[in-house]
A and B are shown apart, each in its own frame.
Chain A
Amino acid sequence: SQKIEQNSEALNIQEGKTATLTCNYTNYSPAYLQWYRQDPGRGPVFLLLIRENEKEKRKERLKVTFDTTLKQSLFHITASQPADSATYLCALANTGGFKTIFGAGTRLFVKA
């Protein structure tokens, strides 16, 4: 069955450092990979989308890589800030972008 794995343990880093979150998947060939941020008590918020034919995408302090051979995506937050503390969800979608599968998320804590 299709499976998405994200770091189950929380990631604790110091302010100013780069946070790197991992998303691995099996038994799936997604056309799109997305990253979302979720704060407690709120719905997920879209951050970045990368297509299967793209290797890297950047947006301000965020960078996403997508390796379809390794079946892995890395999500980087540079110059991290305490306000970046949240749960980050990886999501895969098929062609058409409708049927989306979410990972369990990784909790990030950025300490001042």
Chain B
Amino acid sequence: DAGVIQSPRHEVTEMGQEVTLRCKPISGHNSLFWYRQTMMRGLELLIYFNNNVPIDDSGMPEDRFSAKMPNASFSTLKIQPSEPRDSAVYFCASTLSSGVYEQYFGPGTRLTVT
């Protein structure tokens, strides 16, 4: 299996622009997580889905952030409009929800908002 796939790997954008991050979970996994990692705040859970349904989005920092999972093999995290403080590495992870809780992380997307 190719593992969790994220795109793009790097994104540089100007403040105010819309940013869309993409994730393809491991085939067969039915839970998906979006995290953000910064030096100051570490790894923070933003939102997670189970069977394509958002279960908890309490970690989403503001209404500028939104996430969707239209099917079992694809999810997006959108920031609109982006701000410099959104600069971070964004990780997607997936797992089986049937009692095995180890999460498999993607390589991350490094976002820089200037």
Give A contacts to B, CB under 8 Å: 32, 34, 42-46, 49, 89, 93, 96-105
Contact = CB atoms under 8 A, between A and B. Distances in A.
Interface string B90-114: 0101010101011111111000000
Interface of B: 4, 31, 33, 35, 42-45, 48, 50, 55-56, 91, 93, 95, 97, 99, 101-108
Given A98-B50, A99-B56, A100-B33, A32 B101 contact: yes
Nearest to B50: A98
B48 A102 contact: no
B43 A89 contact: yes
Given A42-B107, A98-B31, A98-B56, A103 B42 contact: yes
Contact of B45 (A34, A44, A97, A100): A100
A45 B103 CA distance: 8
B50 A43 contact: no
